[in-house]
Structure 1
Amino acid sequence: MDRTKTVFLLVMIILSVQVISGLETPQAEQRKPFFQKLRILDEQFRRFQEVTLSRLNAIAANYNISYNINSRFQELMDHYQNISSMLNDFQAVTGNDLNSLKFWTKKLQKKTKKLDLKVEALEKSVNETRRMIHKENQEQRGILSNLTKEIWDQESWIGSISADKEEIHKGLQALQVSIKKQENKMSQLEKKVRNFRLISSNASSRDSLSPASALDSGHIPLAPPPQSEKVSGPGEEPRGTLVNTKLQQKHSKGKKRKEELVTTLMPLEALPGPEIQVEPEIQNFPQLPLRHKIPQQQHVPKKPGTICNVKSMLLFPFASVQNYVTFKKSFLSSIHELSVCMWLRVDTTYVGTLLSYATEENDNKLVLYGRNSSRLQSVDFVIGDPAYRELPVDTILDGHWHHFCVIWSSIEGRFWQYVDRRLTSTGSKFQKGYEISAGGSLVLGQEQDSVGGSFDEAEAFVGRVAGFAVWDRALNPGEVLGIATGRGLPRGSVLTMDDVDQVRGSVQMVSCECLEHCT
């Protein structure tokens, strides 16, 4: 470009010199207009030169851009593709990391919740233990003080009994002597009666024997012979009747003295302290009762039951990860409606996990969940974690049998809870349109954190379960009333106690047709 400009300037200078040399004429007056025109032309040429130069620069710039635009565009496309591939790779890695982070965050939240509940339960247990220890210490102090006072009273009482022992023994000896005297008198009277009967029997053969001779012979006629039909005079009793009456009075007096002696001895035998020895002669009286006779145990027949639709009972004796029950089969098809009913007898202050149904998709697909925590008065009814509803259970924590029934329908998302035939809780918009898939693992007594395992002792159920049954439809109130009153199970049950597969740990399965016999 600079060479072209230089050539162009040289050409213009040569032409200007020739024009100037040709104009040098004698006419001097024509030189001035010529130079003016030449200057004008020179100015126009410079303007033209500037315009031409700017146009040439613009053309050159446009030529360079159009010449390199394809390569530049290709480079930009390659760079864009590289950036796109890098962004896709980064997005995929980031997505995986986010999914993993979400999964572990969920697990961490669940573990954190369990740890919080464990900490709360531990704190409550520690506070309860401290309170119980303080209460027991106070009770033990009171018991020790009462026991000390009772010991002092017993010592004084034993001392008084020991002081009166001699007097009691002397009184017993005097009673023995008196009773012996009475027996001697009774034996003498009996001898006289026998002698009188002998005399009477021989009276018919010895009619000539007079009363005076009878007295001389040593026989005292106390009464006439029994065969005699002698009639006594008016206002006079027969002699035999009078003698027999006196004998009966003496015998009754002796018997009365013996009974008084027995009555006196009976409270003495019941007294604590030193044992009082009683003479064998007094102990062998026929009037003394057998105080230590063991009564025969009589067989008491069972009372007829009124609720006889339970078939069997499961006993969960204590909290342990080993105590749970599995079933032979699971849900054979997906469930849109559900009814779970059972008889419960809770032996603790909380209701543990009653039912846990887990699948590979969700380990909390269906759960009636409870644990030893601060929320002792309710259980969580879970359908597809994390959706759940709290059900009140404070009325069944009294150690007696109660009928418990939970019903759910996905058509409107409604649920109902019945306790002892009464509707205690209900709600709507709970997993509307949800489906409980089939083929999972069903466990009674423990909550599954993974399919068939990962149990927690704090979530165990302790108590008794009878008449467990599951339906794949929503029972109506009349059917619930029929179960609770023993009128039989409604049709269409998909799981009952007959489907139990394994009873693990210390759980016991007891056959009892009627609820009254399930103990």
Structure 2
Amino acid sequence: MPQLPHSGLKMARLLLLMVVMLPACAATPQDLSGKMFTIPQETNTAHVRLNTSLQSFSAATVCLRSVTDLDRNHILFSLATPSLANAFLIFKTATRDGIEVYVQDKAVTFGNQKYELNEWHSICSTWDAESGLVQLWVDGKASIKKFTSGSAIKSPIVILGQEQDSYGGGFDMSQSFVGAIHDVHMWNYVLSPCEIQRYTETSNFTPGNVLNWRALDFQITGRVLVEDRFITCN
């Protein structure tokens, strides 16, 4: 086998070091304060995978802020497990002002949610396995509580932009999200109403201990942009 010249050997070692370092760099959590994910077109590929070390939970709160002009069915938050494609979903239906929350493949529908197009909305959902109750909050307004399911959720994969019909895949373009999303947080407990109000109205709230927008571990697939949310004009 021929020997590389010294300069070539040095370059090969440098490239090897870069390849070894790349996965670690890609997995480093990022502070996305002041940023948003923009998904600019309808596809069955473009999405963001959010990574968490939590492998099991028996309660959850998910909060996010989003804007879209879609008047069809579309996903807002998709969490799947190996055995449950709809382990925890927040799904906007084509029915005016209807939002569905799925827990362990069981859906409940919350109506009259004032989900206006081309406007930013703060959306939160809570669930507790002990009671089996789920609740939705849109722009700080709480729904009634409804019963869905009550057992632990294990080995989650979280996707933004696409609805999982299988574990980490099975995307359907007709249910994809087009628009912008930011401030995604998830907790493995039910937030108090006061804490949800703080999320809705200010930035002074306890960040998620499962998913934290200020320290987010994520991978982008397809045409998804990380953009500034604020424009400063001189």
Q: Indicate the residue corresponding to 1:389 in structure 2.
A: 108
Alpha carbons 2:108, 2:146 under 8 Å: kept: no
Counterpart CA distance in 1 for 2:42 and 2:169 is 16
Counterpart CA distance in 2 for 1:491 and 1:500 is 14
Counterpart CA distance in 1 for 2:111 and 2:188 is 23
Q: Give the letter aligned to residue 333 of structure 1.
A: Q
Counterpart CA distance in 1 for 2:194 and 2:117 is 26
Q: Indicate the residue corresponding to 2:24 in structure 1.
A: none
**Residue 323 of structure 1: which of 22, 46, 70 is its match?**
46
Q: Indicate the residue corresponding to 2:152 in structure 1.
A: 435
Unaligned 5+ runs, structure 1: 1-308
Q: Indicate the residue corresponding to 1:369 in structure 2.
A: 91
Length-normalised TM-score, structure 2: 0.76
Q: Give the letter aligned to residue 395 of structure 1.
A: K
Q: Give the letter aligned to residue 149 of structure 2.
A: Q
Q: Indicate the residue corresponding to 1:150 in structure 2.
A: none
Counterpart CA distance in 1 for 2:96 and 2:74 is 9
Counterpart CA distance in 2 for 1:496 and 1:389 is 26
CA pair 501-465 structure 1, distance change in 2 beyond 3 A: same
Q: 1:470 Cα deviation (Å)?
A: 0.5
Q: Give the letter aligned to residue 402 of structure 1.
A: H
Q: Deviations over 1:187-209 (max 9, x none)?
A: xxxxxxxxxxxxxxxxxxxxxxx
Q: Give the letter aligned to residue 404 of structure 1.
A: I
Q: Give the letter aligned to residue 88 of structure 2.
A: L
Q: Indicate the residue corresponding to 1:420 in structure 2.
A: 139
Q: Indicate the residue corresponding to 1:509 in structure 2.
A: 226
Counterpart CA distance in 2 for 1:338 and 1:396 is 23
**Are positions 1:483 and 2:202 aligned together?**
no
> In structure 1, the residue corresponding to 2:211 is in which secondary structure?
strand
Q: Give the letter aligned to residue 158 of structure 2.
A: L
Alpha carbons 1:357, 1:441 under 8 Å: kept: yes
**Residue 125 of structure 2: which of 395, 402, 406 is its match?**
406
Q: Indicate the residue corresponding to 1:225 in structure 2.
A: none
Alpha carbons 1:351, 1:376 under 8 Å: kept: no
**Residue 312 of structure 1: which of 35, 48, 72 is its match?**
35
CA pair 461-361 structure 1, distance change in 2 beyond 3 A: same
Counterpart CA distance in 1 for 2:135 and 2:153 is 18
Q: Indicate the residue corresponding to 1:469 in structure 2.
A: 185
Q: Which has the larger radius of gyration?
A: 1
Q: Indicate the residue corresponding to 2:25 in structure 1.
A: none
> In structure 2, the residue corresponding to 1:495 is in which secondary structure?
coil
CA pair 492-349 structure 1, distance change in 2 beyond 3 A: closer
Q: 1:467 Cα deviation (Å)?
A: 0.7
Q: 1:363 Cα deviation (Å)?
A: 1.8
- Greater helix share, structure number: 1
Q: Indicate the residue corresponding to 2:211 in structure 1.
A: 495
Greater relative CO, 1 or 2 (CA 8 Å, sep 6+): 2
Counterpart CA distance in 2 for 1:344 and 1:443 is 15
> In structure 1, the residue corresponding to 2:83 is in which secondary structure?
coil
Q: Deviations over 1:379-417 (max 9, x none)?
A: 3211111x1111337522231112111111122122221
Q: 1:492 Cα deviation (Å)?
A: 4.9
> Kindly, what percent of the aligned residue pairs are identical?
23
**Are positions 1:379 and 2:99 aligned together?**
yes
Q: 1:378 Cα deviation (Å)?
A: 1.9
CA pair 316-392 structure 1, distance change in 2 beyond 3 A: farther
Unaligned 5+ runs, structure 2: 1-31
CA pair 500-511 structure 1, distance change in 2 beyond 3 A: farther
> In structure 2, the residue corresponding to 1:478 is in which secondary structure?
helix
**Residue 335 of structure 1: which of 49, 57, 65 is its match?**
57
* 1:46-445 equivalences in 2 (<5 Å): 310-327=33-50, 329-330=51-52, 332-350=54-72, 352-370=74-92, 373=94, 375-385=95-105, 387-392=106-111, 394-423=113-142, 425-432=143-150, 434-437=151-154, 439-445=155-161
Q: Deviations over 1:262-305 (max 9, x none)?
A: xxxxxxxxxxxxxxxxxxxxxxxxxxxxxxxxxxxxxxxxxxxx
The list of structure 1 runs, each at least 4 consecutive aligned residues, that deviate by more than 3 angstroms after superposition, is: none
Counterpart CA distance in 1 for 2:102 and 2:216 is 23
Q: Deviations over 1:177-222 (max 9, x none)?
A: xxxxxxxxxxxxxxxxxxxxxxxxxxxxxxxxxxxxxxxxxxxxxx
Q: 1:496 Cα deviation (Å)?
A: 2.4
Q: 1:354 Cα deviation (Å)?
A: 1.3
CA pair 313-351 structure 1, distance change in 2 beyond 3 A: farther
Q: 1:376 Cα deviation (Å)?
A: 4.6
Counterpart CA distance in 2 for 1:349 and 1:405 is 20
Q: Indicate the residue corresponding to 2:164 in structure 1.
A: 448
Q: 1:478 Cα deviation (Å)?
A: 0.8
Alpha carbons 2:77, 2:160 under 8 Å: kept: yes
Q: Deviations over 1:303-342 (max 9, x none)?
A: xxxxxx9532111112111221112x23523211110111
Alpha carbons 2:46, 2:221 under 8 Å: kept: yes
Alpha carbons 2:73, 2:174 under 8 Å: kept: no
Counterpart CA distance in 2 for 1:376 and 1:428 is 20
Length-normalised TM-score, structure 1: 0.36
Q: Indicate the residue corresponding to 1:254 in structure 2.
A: none
Q: 1:426 Cα deviation (Å)?
A: 2.2
CA pair 380-422 structure 1, distance change in 2 beyond 3 A: closer
Counterpart CA distance in 1 for 2:88 and 2:208 is 20
Q: Give the letter aligned to residue 406 of structure 1.
A: S
